[in-house]
Amino acid sequence: MVGIADVARHAGVSTATVSRALSGGRNVSPVTRLRVEASAAQLGYVVSSTASSLASGRMKNIGVVVPFLNRWFFASVVEGAQQALQRHGYDLTLYNLTGGLEARRSVFEHFLLRQRVDAVIAVSLELSEHEVARLHALDKPLVGVGGPLAGVPTLTVDDLAVARLATEHLIALGHTRIAHIGGDKAFDLDFNLPTNRRFGYEAALAAAGIEARREDYRPADFTTAGGYQAAKQLLGRPHERPTAIFAASDEMAIGSLLAARDLGLVVPRDVSVIGVDDHEQAAFFGLSTVAQFPRQQGEKAVEVLMEELRPHPELRTGLNINMPFELVVRGSTARPPE
């Protein structure tokens, strides 16, 4: 291993100077710095992150906690965060809570505590009080993405507004019989996102003077299969069939599209469908949707953290940061049948 001492010798300076030259570079004359950099490059020197961390207390590493990795939204957030971190010279260590309660406990009781990360990004996580306490005990910056986290700055889209936008799009097209596929109980416990989307849907209907019928609401589990089932039920009744479906996620919306086809209905002639997310597959299915931008959310989370990690975090960010969303109209929505 080539250490800092080797570089110092090679450049004819002290290790202190090497350290300063290679990091930040304040208080080093330009010519010295160049010499040091050249020596370092020539010797192939890379600072030992452990030694550096121990001495400085900075880890150059961010922990990202996700409930799953295998859903488009989460993977995208992680990808965005990862890329932004890389630009800043930070590593990303991933904590996945998929492994059940025991795994979850060990993350909070052990892994996050060993001084390995400078900060934590929690994606769509509903944390118990105890877990939040643990994190705060770390005394490290913490930012949330997508889940409402008590007392933690969180990036989120305004789910109510998102749902209203989607529903209003359908109303504007002339629909008056609009069904909604939302989250089921299990999801409601973890995030209150589904509930907010339902409220937004109801608010839009109410504003348009349309009555929200109980039978036009179906809970599902945010998967394509779930959306399929729900849509089959909604569309299965030949009379009294809704002319439009607003699904709380694109996966469920896609399931609805497939269900409609299987029932012999043509989208959008017989029924309109709109989702939320702008999932990878949405374009392929010609699905209208309200896009949110998870990659950007991941990136933004990193920016916020970098700001907080600055020596003097002047501009402390507020508690809730609203992320953009946007209506994307494709072929799955149109005016209702006469």
Report the interface residues with DNA, using CB under 7 A: 1, 3-5, 12-20, 22-23, 27-33, 45, 47-48, 51-52, 54-58
Q: How far apart are CA 220 and CA 223, in angstroms?
A: 8
The bridge status of strand 288-292 relative to strand 325-328 is antiparallel
Binds a copy of itself (CB under 8 A): choice among 98, 133, 207, 269: 98
Q: Which helix (H) or strand (E) holds 10?
A: helix 4-11
Q: How far apart are CA 287 and CA 213, in angstroms?
A: 25
Structural tokens at position 40: 């370092």
Residue 221 binds a copy of itself (CB under 8 A): no
Binds a copy of itself (CB under 8 A): choice among 61, 195, 233, 317: 61
Binds a copy of itself (CB under 8 A): choice among 24, 26, 50, 318: 50
Select from a copy of itself, DNA, none the partner in contact with residue 28, using the beta carbon and a kind-dependent cut-off of 5 to 8 Å: DNA
One symbol per residue from 270 to 299: x for binding a copy of itself (CB under 8 A), - otherwise; what is it?
Answer: ----------xx-xx---------------
Phi, then psi, of 91 in degrees rounded to 5: -90, 165
Per-residue burial over 146-166, b if 16 or more Cβ lie within 10 Å, else e, is bbbbeebbbbbbbbbbbbbbb
Select from DNA, a copy of itself, none the partner in contact with residue 192, using the beta carbon and a kind-dependent cut-off of 5 to 8 Å: none
Residues 245-264 that bind a copy of itself (CB under 8 A): 261
What are the CA-CA distances from residue 97 to residues 193, 227, 302, 312 (Å)?
A: 19, 25, 21, 33
Provide the 3-class DSSP secondary structure of residue 35: helix
Q: What is the DSSP letter of 112?
A: G
Select from DNA, a copy of itself, none the partner in contact with residue 23, using the beta carbon and a kind-dependent cut-off of 5 to 8 Å: DNA
Structural tokens at position 18: 């090497």
Residue 15 binds a copy of itself (CB under 8 A): no
Binds a copy of itself (CB under 8 A): choice among 91, 184, 190, 303: 91
Q: How far apart are CA 39 and CA 102, in angstroms?
A: 48
Structural tokens at position 236: 């299965």
Strand partners of residue 244: 178, 272
**Smallest distance, DNA to C-beta of residue 13, A:** 4
Taking the least distance from each CB to DNA, the nearer of 112 and 193 is 112
Taking the least distance from each CB to DNA, the nearer of 110 and 214 is 110
DSSP-derived secondary structure for 125-157: ----HHHHHHHHHHT--EEEESS--TTS-EEE-
**Smallest distance, a copy of itself to C-beta of residue 11, A:** 19
Q: Which residues bind a copy of itself (CB under 8 A)?
A: 1, 46-51, 53-54, 59, 61, 68-70, 72, 75-76, 78-79, 82-83, 86, 89, 91-96, 98-99, 103, 106-107, 110-111, 113-116, 223-225, 228, 261, 280-281, 283-284
